[in-house]
A and B are shown apart, each in its own frame.
Chain A
Amino acid sequence: MNNFSYSRPQSAPEAVKLGGVDATMFLAGGTELLNWMRLGISAPAQVVDIGLVAEMRGIRKEGNSLWIGALTTLAQIEADPLVRKEAPVLAEACLRAASPQIRNRATLGGNVLQKTRCPYFRAEGQLPWPCNKREPGSGCAALEGAHERHAIFGWTDACVATQPSDPIVALSCLEATIAVVGQRKSREIPAAGFHVTPQEATRIAAARGREAQVETQLGAGELISAFRVPLGNSTRSAYVKVRERESYEYAAVSAAAAIVIDAGRIQRLRIALGSVAQRPWRLVEAEQALIGKPLERAVLAAAIDASMREARPLAHNQFKVRLAANAAVRAVEAAGKRT
């Protein structure tokens, strides 16, 4: 790991000011950034450790929404009675992420900024293979390589990576927003549109007139300060994570669902898939098709299967289409069983 200069401010304005210095990165829990610095994904000249910024930590009800500070750890969220009652899908997504040790350090803000687990991307030093994320313009080794775990939506020949975060899938189905503070202004970004697919990144790059491996809407020097989760439609919500071992593993696919039912009929439904694209993937078509329908497996499966028709699997991950559809059905059923 290259050395860097270090600062540990106590307030958000101070942190943002320090973050405006060229070649500076923010450090929260450190469970991602330390590995980026070891692998050579990042080599910041300065690091701003925001761990002491108390105003960015905590969970509270504000009006009809839940405010979650960006520095709140996954362990705090999974155990929080308010989150478990009002938005169980988020508590479950945090609980199923990583390990107990990592969840004690990893923050929600840092979690959504994690990068893909693509093995061609996450290798040390000078790579002997192409990777556009590491070396723009070099190509994508995964496109013709080992890509069983890669994208089925939104990819381009330049990149077939997925975003592996569990909480962002829950936040997407909850229609949460992400509060961001910058050098000059603060703004809120919908969680479902916070990450961008390589397809969307290509359009952004074309608009800016230069090549860019854009992965999120976050601008230079901007810092995530909090998450806002609207309440009222989320007590019946659930997260299903499908993985190759029972615990402490990234998702092959995952699905989050939030449902409102009245007299046995679906009134409102939100479904988001995880690890199928470089952002959480909402099944908007199925959400609309299922309004007024009974909560029956065959009915759900037909609508969700139809919604998956736009999937574009790679040569070796066709299975993820079926896996994701089944996970979505299970998530909706699990959400419906909640009271």
Chain B
Amino acid sequence: MNGFHATHAGENTVNEPVSRRNFLKASSAVASSSLVSSSSQAEMQLARPANPPAGFSDRLSLRFEVNGKQVAVELEPRVTLLDYLRERAGLTGTKKGCNEGACGVCTVLLDGKRVNACLTLAASCDGARITTVEGLASANGTLHPVQAAFIEHDAFQCGYCTPGQVVSAVACIHEGHASDAATVHEWMSGNLCRCAAYPQIAAAVLDAAKKGERA
């Protein structure tokens, strides 16, 4: 395992026991390195010209503000914001579900607006401000009021959709779309919960909104 951890530069793994999260991260490092080689093969099969036409690039130098931190990264054009966040930035709080914009588990805030990270190219976000679920709590660990309300109202079962629900709810409240349960259901419709915790989710959103919190 140490060999795998060594590939994550800057990650402190020295005295850390093998947690589920780190095991998964290590596994995904293996999986993603095999993806890299298969996609290289795909690129070769495409027989694209060695050099892109004038005005186009194959490697992009991008800058984002992610959860308040300035980041510079070099990426292939096809990398989505979701894959960048999970595979490169190590922000695995943002989930990958349908990967086609149907489920909402990949919801993040892009310049303050909620979007599906799976339907957004990282390249299109150059110069933008991105907030993921990891960026909601305070530096001292105090939960965002929406996160606290989700716990208080037991607004999840399996929890897979929860990061997307929470980020979406922060935006929903900020937009002024949390006046009553029907409005919340309509404006949270982009986030599916297959455990069907919808009544609890709506209650949490309404409660957080009532407490006057703003994202």
Chain B stretch 86-127: residues in CB contact (< 8 A) with chain A: 99-101, 104, 107, 110, 113-116, 118-121, 123-124, 126
Bound form: Cα–Cα A17–B43 in Å: 26
User: Which residues of the partner chain B approach A37 to less than 8 Å between Cβ atoms?
Assistant: 78
Chain A stretch 242-270: residues in CB contact (< 8 A) with chain B: 246-248
Q: A5-B53, A6-B57, A247-B185 are in contact. Are A101 and B77 (CB under 8 A)?
A: no
Q: Are A248 and B124 in contact (CB under 8 A)?
A: no
Minimum CB–CB distance from B172 to chain A (whole Å) comes to: 7
Bound form: Cα–Cα A27–B118 in Å: 15
User: Which residues of the partner chain A approach B53 to less than 8 Å between Cβ atoms?
Assistant: 5, 21, 46
Minimum CB–CB distance from A230 to chain B (whole Å) comes to: 31
Q: Are B124 and A38 in contact (CB under 8 A)?
A: no
Minimum CB–CB distance from B186 to chain A (whole Å) comes to: 5
Which residue from chain B places its CB closest to the CB of A102 in the assembled complex? B101
Chain A stretch 1-53: residues in CB contact (< 8 A) with chain B: 1-9, 17-18, 21, 27, 29-31, 34-35, 37-38, 43, 45-47, 49, 51
Which residue from chain A places its CB closest to the CB of B192 in the assembled complex? A248
Asked if A105 is an interface residue, CB under 8 A from chain B, the answer is yes
The size bracket of the interface on A is 35 or more
Asked if A104 is an interface residue, CB under 8 A from chain B, the answer is yes
Bound form: Cα–Cα A247–B186 in Å: 6
Bound form: Cα–Cα A31–B101 in Å: 7
User: Which residues of the partner chain B approach A9 to less than 8 Å between Cβ atoms?
Assistant: 55
Q: Are A105 and B77 in contact (CB under 8 A)?
A: no
Which residue from chain A places its CB closest to the CB of B190 in the assembled complex? A99
Asked if B168 is an interface residue, CB under 8 A from chain A, the answer is yes
Q: Are B119 and A105 in contact (CB under 8 A)?
A: yes
Bound form: Cα–Cα A121–B92 in Å: 32
Q: Are B123 and A8 in contact (CB under 8 A)?
A: yes
User: Which residues of the partner chain A approach B113 to less than 8 Å between Cβ atoms?
Assistant: 75, 104
Asked if A100 is an interface residue, CB under 8 A from chain B, the answer is yes
Q: Are B100 and A105 in contact (CB under 8 A)?
A: no
Contact for A7 among B56, B78, B116, B191, CB less than 8 A:
B56
Contact for B172 among A3, A38, A100, CB less than 8 A:
A100
Contact for A100 among B52, B77, B120, B171, CB less than 8 A:
B171
Bound form: Cα–Cα A112–B168 in Å: 26
User: Which residues of the partner chain A approach B49 to less than 8 Å between Cβ atoms?
Assistant: 45
User: Which residues of the partner chain B approach A1 to less than 8 Å between Cβ atoms?
Assistant: 78
User: Which residues of the partner chain A approach B43 to less than 8 Å between Cβ atoms?
Assistant: 2-3
Minimum CB–CB distance from B115 to chain A (whole Å) comes to: 5
User: Which residues of the partner chain A approach B104 to less than 8 Å between Cβ atoms?
Assistant: 99, 101
User: Which residues of the partner chain B approach A248 to less than 8 Å between Cβ atoms?
Assistant: 189-190
Q: Are B190 and A31 in contact (CB under 8 A)?
A: no
User: Which residues of the partner chain B approach A3 to less than 8 Å between Cβ atoms?
Assistant: 39, 42-43, 46, 48, 58, 76-78
Q: Which of B110, B119, B187 has the most CB of A within 10 A?
A: B119
Which residue from chain A places its CB closest to the CB of B113 in the assembled complex? A104
Encode B131-153 as 1/0 by CB contact (under 8 A) with A: 00000000000000000000000
Q: A5-B53, A18-B55 are in contact. Are A105 and B123 (CB under 8 A)?
A: no
Bound form: Cα–Cα A322–B100 in Å: 32
Q: Are B46 and A31 in contact (CB under 8 A)?
A: no
Contact for B119 among A4, A7, A34, CB less than 8 A:
A34
Asked if B80 is an interface residue, CB under 8 A from chain A, the answer is yes
> What are 8 A-B residue pairs whose CB atoms fall within 8 Å in the complex?
A2-B78, A5-B57, A18-B56, A27-B124, A46-B52, A98-B190, A102-B119, A104-B113
Seed contacts A21-B56, A104-B115; 4 additional CB < 8 Å A-B pairs: A2-B43, A45-B49, A99-B189, A246-B185
Nearest 5 A-B pairs (CB), nearest first?
Answer: A99-B190, A6-B77, A5-B52, A5-B56, A247-B189
Q: B residues within 8 Å of A by Cβ?
A: 39, 42-43, 46, 48-49, 52-53, 55-58, 60, 76-78, 80, 99-101, 104, 107, 110, 113-116, 118-121, 123-124, 126, 168, 171-172, 175, 177, 185-187, 189-191
